[in-house]
C-alpha cells in the first residue's frame, strides 16, 4: 500500500503589501475631527450660560412681550429684597453644615471599613446603595418616612403622630439629614481609597516605636490623607451650594422660606412666577459664588498635594 505525501510548497511566501500612505490632508484633519465632541460639549454648556447671563440684564418675563435692557436693575432688586438674603443664609448654612457632617462621618466610616473583617467587607458593598438612588427618589422615600401620621420614623422613635419633621423649625435639618444619608458614602469611599493607597512603612515603624493609634492618625495618616479629604470637600461643598432636587421634592422651599435655597429661589422666580430675568439673576450670582469658592478650594488642594508630596513652598 502506497501513501502519497501532501504536497509541500517550495516557493517563498509572497511579500506583504506595504500599507498605503495616508494623504497629508487626512493627517491634518484628524485633530479637528477628534476635537468635535469637545467643541459640541463646550457649545452646549456655554450657549445656555451666555443666554441666561444676558437675560439677567433684561426685564424678560411672561408679562413683558418685548424685553428691554435694564442694566443692573435686577441685581438692585435682589440685593434690596430680604428674601434673597434669607436664601443666601439658608444656602450657606446648608452647604457648610452638610459638608462638615458628611466629611466627618465619611472619614469615620472609612477608618472603620479599613479594618479587615467580614462585616467591613459586607458594609463596603452595601455602603454604595444610597448613591445608586436618584436624589428625587430619595426625597420621595424620606418624605413618606417623615410623614407625621404614617411615617416609620415617628413610629420607630416613639414620637407619636404630632411630631412634624418638616415643620418650619426642623425642615432645613431634616433636608440635611437626607443629604447626609445620600452622600456620606461618597466621602467614605473616596477617603477609604486614599487610606488604602498610603504607604505601610511609616505606620509599621511607628507601631514598633510604640506610637498610639491616635498619634499615627493625627501625625501620619491625616497629613497624607488631606488631599483626598479636600477633594471630597470640594465636590460636596459645590454640590450643596447648588442643591435643588430632594429639597424641592420634600419642602418646595417651605415652610415659608425655611428651605428656600438660591437654586430653589431661582426656580420659583423663573418657572413658577415666570420672571425669567430675575431667575437668571439668581443663577448668575450663584455661579459667581460657586466659581470663586471652587477656585479658592482648588488652590488649597494644590498646596495640600505639594505638602503631602514633601515639596511644600
pLDDT at 105: 93
Position 66 in a domain:
no
pLDDT in tens, 2-35: 555 555 555 555 566 767 776 777 777 888 888 8
Position 24 in a domain:
no
- The segments of the chain whose pLDDT lies below 70 read 1-16, 18, 22, 116-117, 308-313
Position 295 in a domain:
yes
Query: Position of cell 418646595?
Result: 252
Position 303 in a domain:
yes
pLDDT at 113: 85
In the chain, how many domains are there?
Answer: 1
Segments forming the whole domain that contains residue 259 = 73-308
Mean pLDDT of the chain: 85
pLDDT at 206: 80
pTM for the structure as a whole? 0.83
C-alpha cell at 208: 514598633
pLDDT at 159: 82
Position 25 in a domain:
no
Position 38 in a domain:
no
Does 68 sit behind a cis peptide bond, omega within 30 degrees of 0 on the bond before it? Answer: no
Position 250 in a domain:
yes
Position 241 in a domain:
yes
pLDDT at 148: 87
Q: In this structure, what CATH number is given to the domain that contains residue 163?
A: 1.10.3720.10
pLDDT at 6: 56
Amino acid at each position: 500500500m502506497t501513501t502519497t505525501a501532501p504536497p509541500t510548497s517550495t516557493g517563498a511566501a509572497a511579500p506583504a503589501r506595504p500599507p498605503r500612505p495616508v494623504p497629508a490632508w487626512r493627517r491634518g484633519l484628524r485633530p479637528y475631527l477628534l476635537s468635535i465632541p469637545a467643541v459640541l460639549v463646550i457649545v452646549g454648556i456655554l450657549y445656555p450660560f451666555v443666554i441666561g447671563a444676558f437675560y439677567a440684564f433684561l426685564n424678560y418675563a411672561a408679562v413683558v412681550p418685548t424685553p428691554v435692557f435694564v442694566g443692573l436693575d435686577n441685581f438692585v432688586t435682589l440685593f434690596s429684597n430680604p428674601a434673597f438674603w434669607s436664601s443666601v443664609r439658608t444656602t450657606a448654612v446648608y452647604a457648610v453644615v452638610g459638608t462638615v457632617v458628611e466629611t466627618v462621618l465619611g472619614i469615620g466610616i472609612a477608618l472603620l471599613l479599613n479594618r479587615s473583617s467580614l462585616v467591613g467587607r459586607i458594609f463596603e458593598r452595601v455602603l454604595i446603595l444610597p448613591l445608586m438612588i436618584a436624589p428625587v427618589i430619595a426625597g420621595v422615600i424620606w418624605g413618606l418616612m417623615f410623614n407625621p401620621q404614617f411615617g416609620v420614623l415617628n413610629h420607630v422613635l416613639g414620637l407619636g403622630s404630632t411630631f412634624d419633621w418638616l415643620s418650619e423649625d426642623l425642615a432645613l435639618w431634616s433636608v440635611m439629614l437626607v443629604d447626609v444619608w445620600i452622600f456620606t458614602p461618597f466621602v467614605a469611599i473616596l477617603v477609604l481609597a486614599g487610606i488604602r493607597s498610603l504607604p505601610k512603612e511609616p505606620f509599621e515603624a511607628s507601631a514598633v516605636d510604640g506610637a498610639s493609634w491616635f498619634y499615627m492618625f493625627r501625625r501620619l495618616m491625616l497629613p497624607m490623607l488631606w488631599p483626598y479629604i479636600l477633594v471630597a470637600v470640594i465636590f460636596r461643598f459645590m454640590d450643596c451650594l447648588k442643591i435643588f432636587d430632594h429639597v424641592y421634592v420634600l419642602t418646595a422651599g417651605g415652610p415659608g422660606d425655611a428651605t428656600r435655597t438660591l437654586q430653589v429661589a431661582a426656580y420659583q422666580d423663573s418657572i413658577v412666577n415666570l420672571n425669567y430675568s430675575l431667575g437668571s439673576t439668581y443663577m448668575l450670582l450663584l455661579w459667581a459664588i460657586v466659581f470663586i469658592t471652587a477656585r479658592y478650594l482648588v488652590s488649597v488642594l494644590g498646596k495640600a498635594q505639594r505638602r503631602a508630596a514633601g515639596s511644600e513652598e
